[in-house]
Structure 1
């Protein structure tokens, strides 16, 4: 799609009073803040879950829904003010559907199970209108949309258009539906996602043989992908971001450093004991023991307590973002204090043991 400014869509406001973990729908609709925002979930799906194509499919279908709503809203407005610049509302049935639809307020698309009755009715009427319109004026010679390149960051859930003046044409809607089909669903597609064969077949027949491009074409597939992400990916995302602040590569590095530091600490401790060094000299053991215990505790709890208390969470290797979600900040602070307490207790026990034990020169 062309790089145009986004059309008028709602700007979801994060819920700063939420005193619980967010849901997947709240993350996808951009109602959360780092480290449980849409960007962080996208990075998690790309780097940890290795299934970012599913998230991209869901976002593209949501964007297709926004595109359709904007198109119908523009068309209804032009009909109501008596200047129908498009001939596609000429049939009496289509006009009646437009009149009965009511105002299509901009909203962030979501899975059908979360829509209100009013939203479901409006979406059904909108799809019925688009099917009626396509039946009356089928697009002739329409070419498949060229699939978009790989995305490395999540797209805004807004609609964009290739049409002049940022309006939406029927060709834009058709191209959007075909792009989703050819990019994600057809066998051998560039970013093919695994769906039940019946779902893929139904979508393919609806778009290629029936000429449909209304949002209902993708409803079953979109809901299936949403439930799959909610079941398979989202719990791990919450564990990593809401209960910890480090990513797996960093945890592995900390495990290695922690084990090496503990090996060095024990080796030095026994050497100093058997050389009968003074307790003052053996106090230097505090350094390797502290490093080792701290890094091993960070690995065990997937949490760097100092960074958590400072309000930072890691999203890629050595890149950190501020923890802005209030409930997550409070939860991580509590866990950080607990991890620090365990670290200090174990570190103190080891240091006291190897510093105060009597020395014996061999």
Structure 2
């Protein structure tokens, strides 16, 4: 379910920037810092229905959720250390020092790339270092992953557990270390390995490195996915995001609706011309010929909507289409401003062309054949 990606584990909810006087970036959209129609839900629908490549977005979101899971685990582990006496053999002195130096891990960045500050970058790098240190000797053997799992892969259809009990002394500790391992393996077996259920296309070297790190060296820290995640981010930013902005920030209709409007517009224009010429050659009165304004108005309006990918009336009342005949309110201030400006242009074009056609066919002298 797409909705599973919009809740992060133990991370503060990002606040949209209502004063942004520009179009949002892809990272702002993925970080849930934007409002409809350029929010994460709209981008997900666009990737699913228009780009047909939603698996790339799901991979990015799953890795971001894996990072959130790791942060939650570390925060709860720090809390348990503060309220109880840790076991003598719990980790090394080095891992304890890393844990103490991580800070509160409260920043809401969506993943291991594009941080707002160097502090956030250092914190997540330290988090990965701690998780690698905490693995312990049992994870260092290349055979350990197969020994633990009996050589079988987890089903990609099974969700990563969200609320499980652990041996932690902290009652709020809801994420166990095995959940992090299961999350990393789920991402690998769902998206990266050859013939995976939802395999995404990545350079072979990236896939091989990630698979080796998880299966042979037992890694499950977020940094193991950094290269793959950055590659997917850049691909979406280059190939999908510009089209998304064109559709949602400069228009409010989707392709199926545009095709329907083109069809209605052409049929209406044909009907308008056919009626107008018939009335002229029947020498009908000008008041009778004035009725051609109806098919011409419908035709010009639909063709202008198709040309600009924008329904001006919907734009003026603040609605944007995300699936056929389903609309959401335009809440992003800068996008609403853009849509209103373009709506006024489309209305002006519609009125001018419609008036010109009506004047031409109403005022031209009639001649009965």
State the TM-score, normalizing by the size of structure 1: 0.92
* 1:32 equivalent in structure 2: 34
Shift of 1:324: 0.7
1:52-93 C-alpha deviation (Å, 9 max, x unpaired): 000000000000001111111111222233433x77733222
* 1:75 equivalent in structure 2: 77
Q: Give distance in 2, aligned partners of 1:66 and 1:181.
A: 17
Conservation of the 8 A alpha-carbon contact between 2:91 and 2:136:
no
Structure 1's 88 and 306: CA in aligned 2 closer, same or farther, altered over 3 A? farther
Conservation of the 8 A alpha-carbon contact between 1:144 and 1:175:
no
Q: Give distance in 2, aligned partners of 1:78 and 1:338.
A: 61
Q: Give distance in 1, aligned partners of 2:105 and 2:178.
A: 21
1:104-183 correspondence runs (5 A): 104-138=105-139, 141-142=148-149, 144-148=153-157, 161-164=162-165, 167-183=174-190
Q: Give distance in 1, aligned partners of 2:24 and 2:89.
A: 43
1:298-337 correspondence runs (5 A): 298-337=305-344
Conservation of the 8 A alpha-carbon contact between 1:207 and 1:213:
yes
What SS is found at the alignment partner of 2:321? Answer: strand
What SS is found at the alignment partner of 2:148? Answer: coil
Q: Give distance in 2, aligned partners of 1:99 and 1:79.
A: 10
What SS is found at the alignment partner of 1:320? Answer: strand
Conservation of the 8 A alpha-carbon contact between 1:195 and 1:221:
yes
* 1:254 equivalent in structure 2: 261
Q: Give distance in 2, aligned partners of 1:262 and 1:87.
A: 83
Structure 1's 349 and 88: CA in aligned 2 closer, same or farther, altered over 3 A? farther
What SS is found at the alignment partner of 2:36? Answer: coil
Conservation of the 8 A alpha-carbon contact between 2:8 and 2:65:
no
Structure 1's 117 and 323: CA in aligned 2 closer, same or farther, altered over 3 A? same
Q: Give distance in 2, aligned partners of 1:90 and 1:318.
A: 57
What SS is found at the alignment partner of 1:90? Answer: coil
Two-structure CA RMSD over aligned residues (Å): 2.0
Shift of 1:6: 6.1
* 2:245 equivalent in structure 1: 238
What SS is found at the alignment partner of 2:284? Answer: coil
Conservation of the 8 A alpha-carbon contact between 1:147 and 1:182:
yes
Q: Give distance in 1, aligned partners of 2:246 and 2:367.
A: 48
Structure 1's 41 and 87: CA in aligned 2 closer, same or farther, altered over 3 A? farther
* 1:154 equivalent in structure 2: none
Shift of 1:111: 4.8
Q: Give distance in 1, aligned partners of 2:88 and 2:185.
A: 23
Q: Give distance in 2, aligned partners of 1:111 and 1:269.
A: 64
What SS is found at the alignment partner of 1:268? Answer: helix
Q: Give distance in 2, aligned partners of 1:64 and 1:23.
A: 22
Conservation of the 8 A alpha-carbon contact between 1:24 and 1:230:
yes
Give the unaligned 5+ runs of structure 2.
166-171
Conservation of the 8 A alpha-carbon contact between 1:111 and 1:226:
no
Q: Give distance in 2, aligned partners of 1:232 and 1:226.
A: 10
Structure 1's 193 and 348: CA in aligned 2 closer, same or farther, altered over 3 A? same
Conservation of the 8 A alpha-carbon contact between 1:145 and 1:176:
no
Shift of 1:134: 1.1
Q: Give distance in 1, aligned partners of 2:88 and 2:192.
A: 33
Q: Give distance in 2, aligned partners of 1:37 and 1:56.
A: 15
Conservation of the 8 A alpha-carbon contact between 2:9 and 2:68:
no
What SS is found at the alignment partner of 1:112? Answer: coil
1:92-144 C-alpha deviation (Å, 9 max, x unpaired): 22212212222222523235233521122111221111111113353761464
Structure 1's 258 and 361: CA in aligned 2 closer, same or farther, altered over 3 A? same
* 1:97 equivalent in structure 2: 98
Conservation of the 8 A alpha-carbon contact between 1:160 and 1:166:
no
Structure 1's 52 and 66: CA in aligned 2 closer, same or farther, altered over 3 A? same
Give the unaligned 5+ runs of structure 1.
151-158
Conservation of the 8 A alpha-carbon contact between 1:7 and 1:160:
no
Larger RCO, structures 1/2 (Cα 8 Å, 6+ apart) = 1
